[in-house]
Amino acid sequence: MTLQTSESPGTGRKTQVLGIDLLRFLAASAVMLFHLACTSWIIPSSEAMMLLDGRTRFPDLLGVASMGWIGVPIFFTISGFVIAYSAEGSTPERFFRSRLLRLMPGVWICASISFLLGLLFLPVPAAELTQAYLRTLVLVPVPTWIDGVYWTLAIEIAFYAVILALLVLRSSHRLEPVISTIGMVSALIWIAASTPWLPGLDVLASKRIAKLLLITHGCDFALGVLVWLMAFRGLTGRRLLIASVCCVGSLLQIAYDTRATQAELGIQTFSVVPGMIFIGFLVLLLACLMFDRRLHALLGARGARVIRTIGLATYPLYLLHTFVGVLAMRAALAIGLSPSASLVGGMLTSGIAAVVVATCIEPVLREKLGRIVDSAWSRATQALPARSGMP
């Protein structure tokens, strides 16, 4: 059994799965709520708290906002699906180019905005802030960055590197066994860590090096890839079994992060809720695949473009919301708005800024970077025959 998504008329090519863009936006909004309504007044080391500077608190929202971090494993799972979807039939050059143009312009723009705002409002020495900014521009895989949210990008790149390596080695047909192995190793480590016989394994599995080696979140990425495989290449018992094990691994990793977050925040909430949200996301993902054609027909071309814009704005929203959102909250509080109104204003301002970046600024930089990459690649390929003929 396979699921059919809509195709571009007359081309046979699959268009975007509309629901994926909506799910990405919801995940980014959850992370934004976590930072703006939770870490902004609880975590002293966070950029959000340094920017808000004790101007308000949100104790009534803490139970909900404290779970917003669940957007991150949801992002990783969506990434597994989307990258498998986009890499199918691609070449190493096209895949590298597409990932570079998708990732770096947003980083350069959003990090620069955060840097300028940080110089004005963060109580951090300019030299220290500049160093963090420069590290962010090249995505150094270990802290410190201009904003803590950049911790996820090196992990994304590690996953991209696996896919790129398969394409370079002309082994894209091995995508399933390779990603399944990564997912199973990650999941089995989390299963082992949940037993009483290996105390401390969960802490080791959450270290930065484990994240970069796809041990921590490998089960999330693999789950996304397996959903793509089952949707577009057929549902088999083996795929369903591996996906189930990866899902268990993801839920156990989420349970660990729930405990760690509660300890850091000094609160006790319903520990099972983040895992239930993740399961709900998987159900919605399957629904998006099953009803994609109907959604395209219902919304039409114009509605699809709107949702696509929302999806594109998700990335800058994730990168910008701390600085833009918290400073918008500060401005709202300064003119006498209530804490709740300031929070809404901060989230709306972040959303507007993200749309402007995604539709007006990022495409210009992406086009220029694309020309540079294409020119460099053309010169490199032209030089290869000449060099191969040298004695």
Contact 78, 364 (CB under 8 A): no
Residue 236 zone, left/alpha/beta (φ > 0; ψ -120 to 50; rest): beta
* 46 phi and psi angles, rounded to 5 deg: -80, 145
pLDDT at 32: 98
Model confidence at 389: pLDDT above 90: no
Q: Stretch 223-229: mean pLDDT, rounded?
A: 96
pLDDT at 18: 85
pLDDT at 270: 73
Model confidence at 143: pLDDT above 50: yes
Q: Stretch 22-41: mean pLDDT, rounded?
A: 96
Note the pTM of the prediction, 2 decimals: 0.93
Q: Which is higher by pLDDT, 343 or 297? A: 343
Q: Stretch 221-247: mean pLDDT, rounded?
A: 96
pLDDT at 86: 86
**Integer Cα distance of 378 and 391 in angstroms:** 23
SS3 letters across the chain = CCCCCCECCCCCCECCCHHHHHHHHHHHHHHHHHHHHHHHHHCCCCHHHHHHCCCCCCHHHHHHHCCHHHHHHHHHHHHHHHHHHHHCCCCHHHHHHHHHHHHHHHHHHHHHHHHHHHHHHCCCCHHHHHHHHHHHHCCCCCCCCCCHHHHHHHHHHHHHHHHHHHHHCCCHHHHHHHHHHHHHHHHHHHHHHCCCCCCCHHHHCCCHHHHHCCCCCHHHHHHHHHHHHHHHCCCCHHHHHHHHHHHHHHHHHHHHHHHHHHHHHCCCCCCCHHHHHHHHHHHHHHHHHHCHHHHHHHHHHHHHHHHHHHHHHHHHHHHHHHHHHHHHHHHHHHCCCCHHHHHHHHHHHHHHHHHHHHHHHHHHHHHHHHHHHHHHHHHHHHHHHHHHCCC
pLDDT at 1: 46
pLDDT at 388: 45
The pLDDT confidence band at residue 385, using thresholds 50, 70 and 90, is low
pLDDT at 271: 83
pLDDT at 9: 33
Q: Stretch 361-367: mean pLDDT, rounded?
A: 96
pLDDT at 201: 97
pLDDT tens figures, 168-197: 999 989 999 999 999 999 999 999 999 999
Q: What percent of the chain has pLDDT over 90?
A: 84
Task: Of 219, 155, 226, give the one whose Cα is nearest residue 182.
Answer: 219
CB-hemisphere CA count at 13 Å for 227? 27
**Integer Cα distance of 132 and 145 in angstroms:** 5
Least confident of 41-55, 192-206, 288-302: 288-302
CB-hemisphere CA count at 13 Å for 256? 25
The pLDDT confidence band at residue 13, using thresholds 50, 70 and 90, is very low
Model confidence at 4: pLDDT above 80: no
**Integer Cα distance of 360 and 354 in angstroms:** 10
pLDDT tens figures, 316-334: 999 999 999 999 999 999 9
pLDDT at 306: 92
* 57 phi and psi angles, rounded to 5 deg: -135, 160
Model confidence at 3: pLDDT above 60: no
pLDDT tens figures, 63-78: 999 999 999 999 999 9
**Integer Cα distance of 289 and 284 in angstroms:** 9
pLDDT tens figures, 290-317: 998 888 888 888 888 999 999 999 999 9
The pLDDT confidence band at residue 380, using thresholds 50, 70 and 90, is confident
Contact 13, 241 (CB under 8 A): no
**Integer Cα distance of 333 and 345 in angstroms:** 10
Q: Domain residue spans in the chain?
A: 18-372
Q: Stretch 19-31: mean pLDDT, rounded?
A: 95
Model confidence at 12: pLDDT above 90: no
